[in-house]
Amino acid sequence: MTAGILGALAMLFFLFTRRRRRTDEVVETAGGLALATAVGPLPIAPPPPAAPLSKVAPIIPDTPDEEANMPRWRRPSVQKARKAPSRGIELPHVPVAFTDSATDVERRRIRYRLVRVSSIPDEIMGEEVARLDRGDEVELIRSAGAYWLVKTPYGDEGWVHQMTLETGPPEPDDDAPLDEPDEDDQLPF
In three-state secondary structure terms, 150 is strand
Strand arrangement, sheet containing 128-132: 106-109, 137-144, 147-151, 157-161, 115-118, 128-132
How many Å apart are CA 129 and CA 101, to the nearest integer? Answer: 25
* 107 touches 135 (CB < 8 A): no
In tens digits, the chain (189 residues) has pLDDT values of: 888 898 888 887 877 775 554 444 544 555 555 554 555 555 666 666 665 655 554 444 577 778 878 888 788 888 887 777 766 666 788 899 998 888 888 999 999 988 999 999 988 899 999 999 999 999 999 999 999 999 999 999 999 999 999 986 555 555 555 555 555 555 555
* 117 touches 130 (CB < 8 A): yes
What is the CATH code of the structural domain delimited by 106-164?
A: 2.30.30.40
Cα dist from 189 to 74, 186, whole Å: 51, 9
In three-state secondary structure terms, 56 is coil
* 67 touches 77 (CB < 8 A): yes
pTM over 0.85: no
